[in-house]
């Protein structure tokens, strides 16, 4: 249960408003162009709303634990992510800011407060708040405009990757030519036999905004494969958020 809670903390965001969702039809051709132009169009397609309030279902399977949770997610962009997971009762509440990761579990009567090292341990790669937020918005984990990129066209999709890959890992961004959001992004650390794949199986058009419909995350280590499937049920943008987070007294602190 602990690993499930912590994994969901790292993996939640949102999509699809029942009253206004329209599926994006991805049928544009990927024509020859420059890496710089593709990077700019992807950057320009970034999510520009201020808040998100959503409900979704999360399926989790790491070979030992196979379980589903209902999740309520609230995000104030660039500031804070609130997550509540339930299964008949509240399983956990979490708060993620640019500087900290905190959660507590009324189910287990324990809590955690710390930095992003917890998420880095789960993912196998270093990650910060902006990268985590981008992951759930269909944007690249790295700023593709900040350094030179290489471009290939593979199965009618644009694949961007840094001209100079990191010495620690290789990263690839597969961009859809219809709307220039991500279809997939992958981080590979061959020396440590670690791989993280984030796939976006579709997008909806909500309130004039392109937003992920479903996100599938696969994290592989030498001995473990973890699959997390996010199915979005409802989303509302730009409404005031009403959320509080306070760890109750008497809960046991978890150390990692």
Residue 186 scores a pLDDT above 60? yes
Instruction: Determine the Cα–Cα distance for residues 16 and 173; give it in Å rounded to an integer.
Output: 23
Could you tell me the pLDDT band of residue 255, with boundaries at 50, 70 and 90?
confident
- pTM equals 0.83
The residues pairing with 82 across neighbouring beta strands, listed in sequence order, are 74, 95
Give residue-wise pLDDT tens across range 131-185.
888 887 888 988 898 889 999 999 999 999 999 888 888 999 999 999 999 999 9
List the one residue out of 177, 139, 183, 140 whose CA is nearest residue 161: 140
CATH number for the domain that contains residue 132? 2.50.20.10
In tens, the pLDDT along 14-59 reads 333 333 455 555 568 899 999 999 999 999 998 899 999 989 899 9
Instruction: Give CA–CA dist 17/217, Å, rounded.
Output: 22
Reported as a single tens digit per residue, the pLDDT across 205-214 is: 888 889 899 9
Q: Is residue 85 part of a domain?
A: yes
Summary mean pLDDT of the chain = 85
Q: Indicate the number of domains in the chain.
A: 1
Percent of the chain with pLDDT over 70: 87
User: Cβ-count burial of 214 within 10 angstroms (0-12 exposed, 13-18 middle, 19+ buried)?
Assistant: middle
- Under the phi-then-psi rule, with left for phi > 0, alpha for psi from -120 to 50, and beta for the rest, what region is 138? left
Distance, in Å, from the CA atom of 122 to the CA atom of 224, rounded to the nearest integer, reads 11
Tokens of 208: 């004039």
> Using CA atoms, how far apart are residues 74 and 51, in angstroms rounded to an integer?
7
134 assigned to some structural domain: yes
**What separation in angstroms does the CA of 160 have from each of 55, 73, 154?**
32, 30, 10
**pLDDT, position 12:** 39
- Tokens 């634990």 correspond to 65
Tell me: pLDDT of 68 over 80: yes
Q: Give which of 75, 66, 76, 72 is closest to 85, Cα–Cα.
A: 72
Structure-block tokens of residue 212 = 């992920």
Please name the residue that has the structure tokens 């309130």.
Answer: 207
Q: For residue 196, what are the domain limits?
A: 2-243
Query: In this structure, are residues 199 and 181 in contact, taking their beta carbons and an 8 Å threshold?
Result: no
Query: For position 17, what pLDDT does the model report?
Result: 34
Q: Confirm whether 118 is domain-assigned.
A: yes
């Amino acid at each position: 249960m602990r690993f499930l809670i912590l994994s969901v903390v790292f993996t939640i965001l949102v999509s699809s408003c029942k009253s206004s969702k329209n599926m994006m039809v991805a049928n544009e051709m990927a024509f020859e162009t420059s890496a710089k132009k593709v990077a700019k169009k992807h950057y320009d397609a970034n999510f520009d709303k201020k808040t998100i309030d959503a409900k979704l279902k999360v399926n989790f399977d790491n070979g030992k634990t196979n379980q589903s949770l209902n999740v309520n997610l609230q995000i104030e962009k660039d500031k804070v992510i609130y997550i509540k997971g339930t299964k008949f009762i509240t399983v956990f509440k979490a708060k993620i800011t640019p500087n900290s990761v905190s959660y507590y579990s009324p189910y287990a009567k324990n809590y955690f407060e710390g930095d992003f090292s917890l998420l880095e341990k789960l993912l196998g790669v270093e990650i910060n708040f902006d990268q985590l937020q981008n992951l759930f918005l269909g944007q690249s984990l790295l700023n593709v405009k900040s350094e030179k990129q290489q471009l290939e066209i593979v199965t009618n999709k644009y694949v961007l990757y840094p001209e100079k890959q990191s010495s620690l890992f290789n990263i690839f961004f597969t961009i859809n030519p219809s709307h220039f959001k991500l279809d997939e992004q992958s981080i590979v650390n061959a020396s440590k036999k670690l791989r993280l794949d984030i796939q976006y199986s579709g997008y909806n058009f909500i309130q004039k905004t392109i937003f992920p419909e479903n996100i599938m995350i696969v994290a592989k280590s030498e001995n473990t494969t973890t699959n997390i499937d996010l199915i979005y049920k409802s989303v509302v943008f730009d409404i005031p958020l009403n959320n509080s987070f306070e760890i109750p007294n008497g809960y046991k602190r978890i150390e990692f």
